[in-house]
């Protein structure tokens, strides 16, 4: 191995230390959720504590008007008559209580929204930085919906927690507790009366939550079966109609739909009834009737005074909203904790290590030297790969499905790092070169090429942001796509996926034009004509001929007729190179390549 194999391993801060797996066992995830949430909130913990203190003050002072009314009524019911000064004093205190509550609550939410801005900005910056440094292969293993959920939905859940849920939860806990303390100090019997609806509500809530986890899992399974039937019905409707099986297919869909509806009714029906009863006991009419009935009895029995009953009535009626908010706040906390765990997983995704002092490749000779690769660190996908690609030559990778062709090709633009051995460009190990240097030297056109929702011109310029219009048009002409672009509503300024959706063949040619603009000396092609329709396949082939001229080309071939002129054909089986040579030589060997060729020719004969 060359000296660069033992070159310095200095990496960017935390590039290698954060190597937690992308998926966690349930116990590990549960244990790490609180840690993840705590880590995300650490920069604003002090502000959140201050906001919680203000919110608690607001919750406490919300009781001041109740106390003032209680004391005013008590004063008015004095046998000797009310004192105007006392009444006015308590009226002023009530107004001050309202003002303090408003100011404290406003301060709390102002602080938490400021903290949310800090958390959101820092979180998005960390996520962007992490996604910029993760292996490109990480994106291929995940759908855009999964990445979107992390960057948008999960960040929003954390936003709701910081900006709203913490304050709501503090207020929902402090206000009822303070109210009960006040009632028990004034008249413990009335405090017990007001406590009864709350206890009944939580009893009902505990009944509702019993077995909820198992039922939720069953619901997900049933919903998955319905979704599968929908996809099956929509995607297979042409075949179903052709063979006259519409009725049986509909019956299968209706069966799983009915199963879902029956399960939902059996699960949610009792829960909804319990929830209705639990909520009813906290409803203002219920509390008013309970407090007035027992209060009248207490007054008649000498166990309380009318003013005390009024205080219990005001506090009891006000208990419903805070107690219900407590459940909402707790749910928001659980949701945010789960979101934080997922974000924590993403922020712990291993990044591609980068050397502190990268080397610059000289030339475009590519060497695979004893390459071994495994996705999971246990099962090798590639083993003992030795391969050299030289400028001006075409190397084709062929082999059965699952033999490792795509993996071998995608290691070249460093979608992942090799497990063992080395891949070099211009004598420099990819791990010791700056990523931007690799991407300047390697262009790739895969089957699953993507065009972004922007103009055609800007899509092409992703490879060369400084390219002028003439250069962009020249690349488009070379890729046999200029005329198609000019037929679009606004030519090169047409917005892709908004004003036009290119066909598979057009998408391939646009991506080939983009690769031409990159002007990279090394090109990786993964069956670039796979999605081309028959009419455009010839145009794609012509575009590819222009693209690969004079470059070191690595092409994955599924249709062997397309690579009969390749300078070398590498045959893979089980992740190993089993044959290497030109087309005629490999046919004469009569081994795997010849068997693949005969199978394809026999099929197409």
Tell me the pLDDT tens digit for each residue of 284-343: 888 889 899 999 999 988 898 999 999 999 988 887 777 777 766 666 777 777 777 778
- 289 with 221, same domain: the answer is yes
Q: How confident is the model at residue 227 (pLDDT cuts 50, 70, 90)?
A: low
- Evaluate whether residue 358 is within a structural domain: no
- Domain boundary residue among 321, 352, 383? 352
- Evaluate whether residue 124 is within a structural domain: yes
The DSSP code sequence of 24-50 is: --HHHHHHHHHHHHHHHHGGGHHHHHH
Tell me the percentage of the chain whose pLDDT exceeds 70.
79
- Range in 49-58, 122-131, 140-149 with the lowest mean pLDDT: 140-149
pLDDT score recorded for residue 212: 62
pLDDT score recorded for residue 563: 85
- 167 with 193, same domain: the answer is no
- 292 with 163, same domain: the answer is no
pLDDT score recorded for residue 24: 33
Which one, of 217, 184, 560, 590, lies nearest residue 405 by Cα?
Answer: 560
- 397 with 531, same domain: the answer is yes
SS3 513: helix
Tell me the percentage of the chain whose pLDDT exceeds 90.
30
Segment holding 374, helix H or strand E: strand 366-374
Two tokens, residue 127: 């996520």
pLDDT score recorded for residue 257: 74
Report d(CA 575, CA 554) in Å as an integer.
17
Give the mean model confidence (pLDDT) for residues 170-180: 89
- 462 with 584, same domain: the answer is yes
CA angle 81, 87, 88 (to 5 degrees): 140
Between 347 and 453, residue with greater pLDDT? 453
- 246 with 181, same domain: the answer is no
- Evaluate whether residue 323 is within a structural domain: no
- 92 with 219, same domain: the answer is no
Checking 373-377 for CB contacts under 8 A at 24+ apart, the result is: 373/407, 373/411, 373/416, 373/418, 373/419, 373/420, 374/419, 375/416, 377/419
Instruction: State yes or no: pLDDT of 10 exceeds 70.
Output: no
Mean pLDDT, the chain, whole residue set = 80
- Evaluate whether residue 454 is within a structural domain: yes
Q: How confident is the model at residue 389 (pLDDT cuts 50, 70, 90)?
A: very high
Give the mean model confidence (pLDDT) for residues 137-164: 70
Highest averaged pLDDT of the listed ranges 22-26, 88-92, 135-139, 463-467: 88-92
- Evaluate whether residue 334 is within a structural domain: no
Between 566 and 257, residue with greater pLDDT? 566
- 69 with 147, same domain: the answer is yes
- 216 with 163, same domain: the answer is no
**Residue 378 belongs to a domain with what CATH number?**
3.40.50.300
- Evaluate whether residue 317 is within a structural domain: no
Helix residue ranges per DSSP H, 42-83? 45-61, 64-76
- The model's pTM is 0.59
The DSSP code sequence of 265-317 is: HHHHHHHHHHHHHHHHHHSHHHHHHHHHHHHHHHHHHTS--HHHHHHHHHHHH
Instruction: State yes or no: pLDDT of 165 exceeds 60.
Output: yes
**Residue 88 belongs to a domain with what CATH number?**
1.20.1560.10
- 281 with 408, same domain: the answer is no
Tell me the pLDDT tens digit for each residue of 334-364: 777 777 777 877 777 777 788 888 999 988 8
In 426-489, beta strands by DSSP E = 428-429, 442-445
Instruction: State yes or no: pLDDT of 38 exceeds 80.
Output: no
In 415-550, beta strands by DSSP E = 420-425, 428-429, 442-445, 522-526
- 23 with 75, same domain: the answer is yes
Structural domain harbouring 116: 17-186+344-352
Q: By CB neighbour count within 10 A (0-12 exposed, 13-18 middle, 19+ buried), where does 42 fall?
A: exposed
Q: How many structural domains comprise the chain? A: 3
Tell me the pLDDT tens digit for each residue of 554-573: 988 888 888 888 899 999 99
Instruction: State yes or no: pLDDT of 144 exceeds 50.
Output: yes
- 471 with 515, same domain: the answer is yes
CA-based diameter of the chain, in Å? 122
Residue 469 Cα distances to 315, 450, 475, 476, 517, angstroms: 73, 22, 10, 11, 11
- Evaluate whether residue 357 is within a structural domain: no
- Evaluate whether residue 411 is within a structural domain: yes
Give the mean model confidence (pLDDT) for residues 195-219: 74
- Domain boundary residue among 319, 352, 385? 352
């Amino acid at each position: 191995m060359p000296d660069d194999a033992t070159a310095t391993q200095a990496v960017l801060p935390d590039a290698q230390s954060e190597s937690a797996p992308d998926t966690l066992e349930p116990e590990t995830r549960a244990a790490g959720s609180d840690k993840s949430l705590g880590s995300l909130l650490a920069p604003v913990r002090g502000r959140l504590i201050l906001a919680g203190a203000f919110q608690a003050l607001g919750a406490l002072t919300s009781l001041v008007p109740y106390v003032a009314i209680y004391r005013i009524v008590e004063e008015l019911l004095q046998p000797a008559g009310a004192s105007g000064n006392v009444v006015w004093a308590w009226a002023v205190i009530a107004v001050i209580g309202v003002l303090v509550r408003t100011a404290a609550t406003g301060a709390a939410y102002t602080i938490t929204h400021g903290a949310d801005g800090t958390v959101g900005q820092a979180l998005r910056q960390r996520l962007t930085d992490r996604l910029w440094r993760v292996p490109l292969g990480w994106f291929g293993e995940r759908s855009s919906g999964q990445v979107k959920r992390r960057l948008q939905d999960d960040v929003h859940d954390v936003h709701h927690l910081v900006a709203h849920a913490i304050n709501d939860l503090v207020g929902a806990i402090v206000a009822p507790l303070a109210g009960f303390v006040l009632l028990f100090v004034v008249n413990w019997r009335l405090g017990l009366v007001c406590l009864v609806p709350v206890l009944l509500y939580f009893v009902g809530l505990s009944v509702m939550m019993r077995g909820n986890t198992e039922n939720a899992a069953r619901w997900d399974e049933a919903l998955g079966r319905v979704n599968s039937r929908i996809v099956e019905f929509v995607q297979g409707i042409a075949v179903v109609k052709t063979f006259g099986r519409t009725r049986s297919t509909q019956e299968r869909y209706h069966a799983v739909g009915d199963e879902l509806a029956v399960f939902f009714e059996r699960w949610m029906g009792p829960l909804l009834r319990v929830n209705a009863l639990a909520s009813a006991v906290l409803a203002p009419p219920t509390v008013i009737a309970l407090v007035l009935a027992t209060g009248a009895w207490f007054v008649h029995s000498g166990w309380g005074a009318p003013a005390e009953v009024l205080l219990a009535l005001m506090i009891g009626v006000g208990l419903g909203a805070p107690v219900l908010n407590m459940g909402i706040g707790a749910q928001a906390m659980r949701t945010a904790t789960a979101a934080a765990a997922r974000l924590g997983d993403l922020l712990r995704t291993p990044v591609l290590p980068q050397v502190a002092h990268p080397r610059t490749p000289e030339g475009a000779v590519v060497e695979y030297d004893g390459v071994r690769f495994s996705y999971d660190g246990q099962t090798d996908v590639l083993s003992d790969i030795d391969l050299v690609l030289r400028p001006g030559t075409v190397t084709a990778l062929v082999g059965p499905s699952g033999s490792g062709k795509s993996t071998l090709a995608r290691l070249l633009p460093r979608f992942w790092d090799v497990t063992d051995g080395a891949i070099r460009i211009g004598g420099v190990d990819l791990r010791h070169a700056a990523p931007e240097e690799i991407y300047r030297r390697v262009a790739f056109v895969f089957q699953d090429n993507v065009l972004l929702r922007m103009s055609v011109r800007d899509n092409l310029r992703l490879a060369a942001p400084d390219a002028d219009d003439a250069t962009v048009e020249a690349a488009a002409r070379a890729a046999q796509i200029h005329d198609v672009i000019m037929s679009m509503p606004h030519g090169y300024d047409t917005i892709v996926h908004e004003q036009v959706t290119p066909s598979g063949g057009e998408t391939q040619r646009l991506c080939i034009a983009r690769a031409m603009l990159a002007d990279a000396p090394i090109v990786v092609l993964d069956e670039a004509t796979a999605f081309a329709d028959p009419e455009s396949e010839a145009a794609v082939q012509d575009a590819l001929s222009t693209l690969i001229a004079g470059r070191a080309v690595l092409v994955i071939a599924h249709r062997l007729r397309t690579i009969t002129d390749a300078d070398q054909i590498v045959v893979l089986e089980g992740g190993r190179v089993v044959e290497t040579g030109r087309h005629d030589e490999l046919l004469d060997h009569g081994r795997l390549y010849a068997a693949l060729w005969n199978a394809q020719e026999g099929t197409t004969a």
